[in-house]
Amino acid sequence: RQAAADPCWLRFIPPSRGDLTRLFARLTAVHVAGPLHPLLATARAELRQGLSSLTGRTVTEAADWRAAGVIVATRAAALRAPWATLLPAARLAELGREGFLLHVMETPDDRSPQGAAPAIFVVGGDEAGVLYGVFHLLRGLTLGTPLSGLAACEHPVNPLRMLNHWDNADGSVERGYAGRSIFFREGRVLADNPRIRAYARLLASVGINAVALNNVNVHATETRFITEEYLPDLARIADVFRAYGIRVFLSVNFASPIEVGGLPTADPLHPDVARWWRETARTIYQYIPDFGGFLVKADSEFRPGPFTYGRDHAQGANMLADALAPFGGIVIWRCFVYNCLQDWRDRKTDRARAAYDHFVPLDGMFRDNVILQIKNGPMDFQVREPVSPLFGGLTRTNQMLELQITQEYTGQQRHLCYLVPQWQEVVAFDTYARGPGSTVARIASGELFRRPQGGVAGVSNVGDDVFWTGHVLAQANLYGFGRLAWNPELSAAAIAEEWVRLTFGDDPLVVTTITEMLMASWSIYESYTAPLGVGWMVNPGHHYGPNPDGYEYSKWGTYHYADHQGVGVDRTRRTGTGYTGQYHPPHCDVYESLATCPDELLLFFHHVPYTHRLHSGKTVIQHIYDSHFEGAERAEWLKQRWESLARRIDDVRYHVVLERLTEQAEHAKEWRDVINTYFYRKSGIPDEHGRLIHP
Ligand code: GCW
């Protein structure tokens, strides 16, 4: 029998400080006003469970709002309630979809010596807003937020806050590092798996409202998910998610009309193909009435797509969008399209350019229910990349940012790499598309270009592992993804600290130590792996561990061009691939010039001699040596920091994390040695400090 799944950040450990005693005394009863929509039933159950864990008392339901410490309602119900006039009218009027208002005030209380006691009103703009408000309240209480700080009025910045699962029907997870799929096993749907409800809770608690269940690489079995063979069971998963305000999407195979429909073609302009998809959509909605729509990887890495028929991506996406439109569904069409049959001698074809070159000419041609999903960088989730110039390049098309929570290139959940600081840089990146302030966050949300759809998707890092994410500390990435998708302006450090408190309690040493470890981890991982934005020095296939020439001569188009004189990819307009020209000023010039290109991206944009001096004052080769020696030391430091928490953390979690950090420290040394030796051998330049470059 498997151990019970870890509750992650939903532990509701009572805070050891804070002025909540009076409030907690009142929190033994909750009142839900208005008709009991299923989401309100969920909110009530979560509230009762969370509060009883926090207060250590049984929490009951009060029929009379005056007997309750928490009063919960949608705005519509609140306006009809006897207590409506107690709430700030202007705030109530502002409440929109998925938003909530938390209002704290004293209400009469016979049991209290003062005759009154604090009560909290949680009012949602709609039912989902109520649920988010409840989770917000529970989080605030767990964090020991004083009563005065509990008042809030929030709306999610992004309409879609989504997880993409790369789960396969056989139970494997592409780029999964946390066990097997929680949805599928041996070609079957695990509709009864209790982990799915537990997962839905985790997601809803951080505001996620959509999930694509299966891998964007849709193989033979998953191609049939959109048929009546699989829909009844998939509908049961959708039921579980629905109770938490989460809509289900499926990844589809563009060639489905051939593979399951028996048609001779999948040409998007062929009337039989369009009809087949319309009928398929109708069938899906009979089983899943609030089905979100299709996620599509087409004409990418050997997946079928419209190119086969001489059609473009807009024609492909729009045909699917038209099939879903009558039911309110959307098409999320991925922009990860590039030539994966390149020749390293061809210095003009540049994978980094590909997405922009394919999609910018189609800007404005997609239906309103199509969203283009764009990876954060132009390549593929490396530890360091510039931001994709499609953000700012497309202005008349719905867009969505794709982040990778699963740590494919960032240590595969064996290394600690808290990614929220990286994501924060991405969302804060100013594209200048409409002058200063044209951030990726404002583009993805749809606000900057006034688009009807938008949002953020993260590739899930979850599997059937007891701790969900393999590495316990990788839970912070899942948590942080949700929080950042809700509000891209939250700081990575604040999110980290929040997560630590919710997950490990509020022992100050534990909180500061783990927060510090998380915040340092991305930079540490970067420093002992591929240097200065060059990326890709990994083993082909599984992508774990160092291999400087692993992809150097391969067809995937991921080169660094290191030779005895220098390293890096010339992507300038003057002498290189011209990629810098895909950015608006000032970036196109900042990246173009050696004088202004940021150090951390130098080798992404330029091919330079090893003796080239960085802004930091170091030469490239010395930077490589120094950062790799330091990186390996800092990986050791992570382990020591964790060891300083022995006995302050429960044994099980302490030891599983220690095991990972020990492995990381070892593997960081391997990275250091392989990378340093490679560049020492190539350049022939010794380390200024005379350290031994290990073979
Ligand atoms: O990062 C690459 C991965 C593939 C993945 C692909 C994609 C799902 O190595 O495993 O396929 O990107 O994003 O489509």
Both tokens of residue 483? Answer: 């929080």
Handedness of CA 497, 46, 185, 402 (dihedral sign): negative
ipTM computed for the complex: 0.99
Q: What is the DSSP letter of 182?
A: S
DSSP state of 28: T
From atom 11 of ligand 1, which residue's Cα is the shortest distance away?
217
Our answer on whether the CB atom of 525 is closer than 6 Å to any ligand 1 atom is no
Greatest mean pLDDT among 18-22, 64-68, 659-663 lies in 659-663
Atom of ligand 1 at shortest distance to CA of 174? 10
Distance 381 CA to ligand 1 centre (A): 9
Q: Is the CB of 298 under 6 A from ligand 1?
A: no
Which ligand 1 atom minimizes the distance to the CA of 381? 1
User: Stretch 85-112: mean pLDDT, rounded?
Assistant: 92
How far is 320 from 327, CA to CA, in rounded Å? 12
Ligand 1 in reach of 551 Cβ (< 6 A): no
- Helices in 487-541 by DSSP H: which ranges? 492-504, 508-528
Question: Going by CA atoms, what residue is nearest to atom 13 of ligand 1?
Answer: 336
What's the confidence (pLDDT) of residue 401?
Answer: 98
336 lines ligand 1 (CB under 6 A): yes
Contact of 246 with 42, CB cutoff 8 Å: no
- Which residue among 351, 408, 409 has the greatest number of ligand 1 atoms within 8 angstroms of its CB, and so is best to mutate? 408
Q: What is the pLDDT of residues 641-654, one digit of tens each?
A: 999 999 999 999 99
With helix as H, strand as E and coil as C, how does 590-649 read? HHHCCCCCCHHHHHHHCCEECCCECCCCCEHHHHHHHHHHHHHHHHHHHHHHHHCCCCCC
Q: Where are the alpha helices (DSSP H) in 248-394?
A: 256-259, 271-287, 313-324, 351-359, 390-393
**42-60 in b/e burial notation, b at 16+ Cβ within 10 A?**
bbbebbbebbbbbbeeebe
**Cβ(217) to ligand 1 under 6 A?**
yes
3-state secondary structure of 85: helix
SS3 173: strand
* Residue located via tokens 């998953």: 222
Instruction: State which ligand 1 atom lies nearest to the alpha carbon of 380.
Output: 1
SS3 25: helix
Catalytic positions: 301, 380, 408
Per the structure block, which two tokens stand in for 609?
Answer: 């001699």
What atom of ligand 1 comes closest to residue 300's alpha carbon?
Answer: 14
Cβ 528 under 6 angstroms from ligand 1: no
Q: For the chain, what's the residue count? A: 695
State phi, psi for 121 to the nearest 5 degrees: -100, 125
pLDDT tens digit string along 381-415?
Answer: 999 999 999 999 999 999 999 999 999 999 999 99
61 CA distance to ligand 1 middle (Å): 48
Query: What is the mean pLDDT of the segment spanning 367-374?
Result: 98
Closest ligand 1 atom to Cα of 402: 13
Whose tokens are 């629905």? That residue is: 242
166 lines ligand 1 (CB under 6 A): yes
- Average pLDDT across the chain, whole number: 96
Q: How many CB atoms lie within 10 A of CB 494?
A: 12
Identify whether the C-beta of residue 336 lies closer than 8 Å to the C-beta of residue 375: yes
3-class DSSP string for 189-236:
ECCCCHHHHHHHHHHHHCCCCEEECCCCCCCHHHHHHHCCCCHHHHHH
Q: Residue 82: pLDDT band by 50, 70, 90 thresholds?
A: very high
Mapped to the 3 state alphabet, what secondary structure does 106-153 carry? EEECCCCCCCEEEEEEEEECCHHHHHHHHHHHHHHHHCCCCHHHCCEE
Terminal C-alpha separation, the chain: 45
Q: Using alpha carbons, list the distances in angstroms from residue 411 to 168, 305, 361, 674.
A: 22, 32, 36, 16
Closest alpha carbon to 26 in 111, 87, 83: 111
Q: Does residue 408 have its Cβ closer than 6 Å to ligand 1?
A: yes
Beta strands 210-212 and 152-154: pairing type?
Answer: unpaired
**Residue of 301, 334, 536 to test ligand 1 pocket, by largest number of atoms within 8 Å of CB:** 301
Secondary structure, 3-state, 230-241: CHHHHHHHHHHH
**Residue with CA closest to ligand 1 atom 1:** 380
The verdict on whether omega for the bond into residue 146 sits within 30 degrees of 0, i.e. cis, is no
**CA-to-CA distance for 256 and 276, rounded, in angstroms?**
9
Give ∠ CA 182-291-48 in degrees, rounded to 5: 60
Cα(564)–Cα(569) distance, integer angstroms: 15
Q: Are 234 and 208 in contact (CB under 8 A)?
A: no
Q: Tokens for 140, please give them.
A: 């605030």
Q: 3-state DSSP call for residue 176?
A: coil
Q: How high is the pLDDT of residue 1? A: 42
Shortest-distance atom of ligand 1 to CA 543: 9
Provide CB contacts within 8 A for 536, sequence distance 6+: 379, 382, 530, 550, 551, 558, 559, 560
d(CA 522, CA 406): 14
Q: How many CB atoms lie within 10 A of CB 511?
A: 17
- Within 13 Å of residue 62, how many CA atoms lie on the same side as its CB? 18
pLDDT confidence bin for 218, thresholds 50/70/90: very high
> What is the C-alpha to C-alpha distance for residues 547 and 454, in angstroms, rounded to an integer?
37
- Tell how far CA 265 is from the center of its chain: 35
Confidence of residue 494 (pLDDT cuts 50, 70, 90): very high
Six-digit token pair at 273?
């193909």
Region label for 670, one of left (φ > 0), alpha (ψ between -120 and 50) or beta (otherwise): alpha
Query: For residue 463, which amino acid is it?
Result: G
Ligand 1 mutation target, pool 167, 172, 173, 174, most atoms within 8 A of CB: 174
Give 429-477 pLDDT, tens digit per residue.
999 999 999 999 999 999 999 999 999 999 999 999 999 999 999 999 9
In angstroms, rounded to a whole number, what is the distance separating the alpha carbons of residues 177 and 461? 7
State in Å: Cα 480 to ligand 1 middle: 22
**CB neighbour burial string for 288-311, b if at least 16 within 10 angstroms, e if fewer:** beebbbbbbbbbbeebbbbbebeb
With a 6 Å cutoff on the Cβ, whether 381 touches ligand 1 is yes
Q: How far apart are CA 544 and CA 410, in angstroms?
A: 9
297 lines ligand 1 (CB under 6 A): yes
* CA atoms of 453 and 160, how far apart (whole Å): 8
Q: What is the largest CA-CA distance in the chain?
A: 83
pLDDT above 90 as % of the chain: 92
Tokens of 302: 């050997």
Q: Is the CB of 492 under 6 A from ligand 1?
A: no
Question: What pLDDT is stored for residue 4 in this prediction?
Answer: 86
- Write down the pLDDT at residue 127: 98
At 531-559, the pLDDT tens digits run 999 999 999 999 999 999 999 999 998 99
Assess whether pLDDT exceeds 90 at residue 19. no
Q: How far is the CA of 550 from the centre of ligand 1 (A)?
A: 17
* Residue among 172, 175, 551 whose CB has most ligand 1 atoms within 8 A, to mutate: 175
Indicate if ligand 1 lies below 6 Å from the C-beta of 175.
yes
Residue with CA closest to ligand 1 atom 3: 175
Q: Is the CB of 440 under 6 A from ligand 1?
A: no
Per-residue tokens: 4: 């019970």
d(CA 71, CA 494): 28
Residue 279 CB neighbour total at 10 angstroms: 12
The string of pLDDT tens digits covering residues 138-154 is 999 999 998 889 999 99
Instruction: State the pTM of this model.
Output: 0.97
Which letter does DSSP use for residue 331 in this model? E
Instruction: Name residue 210's beta-bridge partners.
Output: 162, 247
- Write the CA distances from 369 to 327, 331, 355, 439, 461, integer angstroms: 11, 6, 20, 23, 27
Question: Is 23:142 a contact under the CB 8 Å cutoff?
Answer: no
pLDDT in tens, 302-340: 899 999 999 999 999 999 999 999 999 999 999 999 988
Work out the pLDDT band at 2, boundaries 50, 70, 90. Answer: low
Mean of pLDDT values over 158-187: 98
Tell me, using a 6 A CB cutoff, whether residue 299 lines ligand 1. no
Index of the ligand 1 atom closest to the CA of residue 175:
10
User: Residues 186-197: what's their mean pLDDT?
Assistant: 97
pLDDT over 70 percentage in the chain: 99
